[in-house]
Amino acid sequence: MPVKLNILIVLLAFSIPVFSQNRGDTYSTDEDAGKKAAVLLLQMGANDTMHVATAILKDAATSGPIKNVDVTFYVQRSFGLMKVGNGTTDTTGTASVEFPINTRASDKSQLFTLLVKVEDNDNIRDVTAQAVVRSNIPFPTNEAVPRALIGSKAPWWMVISFWAAVGSVWAFFLYTLLLIYKIKKSANYSFTTNQKK
């Protein structure tokens, strides 16, 4: 019993930091030792055909700009992040990227979330900023969804094949029950005939 308890304690000790990292808690790790803390701001603009996103990276202690840092821009989607661009901060600590103005919204609210991240930098801790942007293209709520294997409506041939297979299984099951009933009935009949003799 003590051996099992010790193994459980060791497993829990290793799993707690992993769970807290996945939750996105902000705490300092050994990898962050010696790295600068930074503040990342995100500004949005647009022209006729493109969204313009500008990231501004500043030192958290001095508020001075940080240059030569790679930043990556993402749009939040249902199943993850879609990369829309990247850049490197200049002497003023800014990096800009353009992405199409016809980026579709994530839901019926016609909004999508844009994120900018500093990741895996040798001198700066990972930092993220985000902005909610209104899309010019509404979420397709009233469009008819075509029948397809990857859609919510299966093709007719698949629906017919499915119900034919299900019907065949049930028919075989009912036929088996009928045969069992007939065997039982004939066994009862032969048993009563033998008793009369």
Residues 128 and 157 placed together within one structural domain of the fold: no
Asked whether the beta carbons of 148 and 141 are under 8 A apart, the reply is: no
pLDDT at 80: 86
Q: Is residue 28 a part of any domain in this protein?
A: no
Last residue of a domain, one of 95, 112, 134: 134
- Structure tokens, 16: 């707690």
Residues paired with 54 in a beta bridge:
43, 96
Residues 130 and 148 placed together within one structural domain of the fold: no
Cα angle 107-132-134, degrees, rounded to a multiple of 5:
60
Residues 109 and 155 placed together within one structural domain of the fold: no
Q: Is residue 20 a part of any domain in this protein?
A: no
Residues 123 and 46 placed together within one structural domain of the fold: yes
Q: Is residue 155 a part of any domain in this protein?
A: yes
CATH of the domain at 104: 2.60.40.1940
**pLDDT values of the chain reduced to their tens digit, one per residue, 197 residues:** 454 444 434 333 333 333 333 333 344 555 667 788 899 999 988 888 888 999 999 998 898 999 999 999 998 887 889 899 999 999 999 999 998 888 877 777 788 889 999 998 888 899 999 988 888 776 666 666 566 666 667 788 888 998 999 999 999 999 999 999 988 888 776 656 555 55
Residues 43 and 120 placed together within one structural domain of the fold: yes
Q: Is residue 92 a part of any domain in this protein?
A: yes
Which domain covers residue 55, as residue numbers? 34-134
pLDDT at 150: 60
Whole-angstrom Cα distance, residue 83 to residue 81?
6
Residues 103 and 53 placed together within one structural domain of the fold: yes
Residues 151 and 114 placed together within one structural domain of the fold: no
Amino acid letter for position 145: V
Beta strand spans in the chain (E): 38-46, 50-59, 70-77, 80-88, 94-100, 111-118, 127-134
Residues 193 and 164 placed together within one structural domain of the fold: yes
Residues 117 and 155 placed together within one structural domain of the fold: no
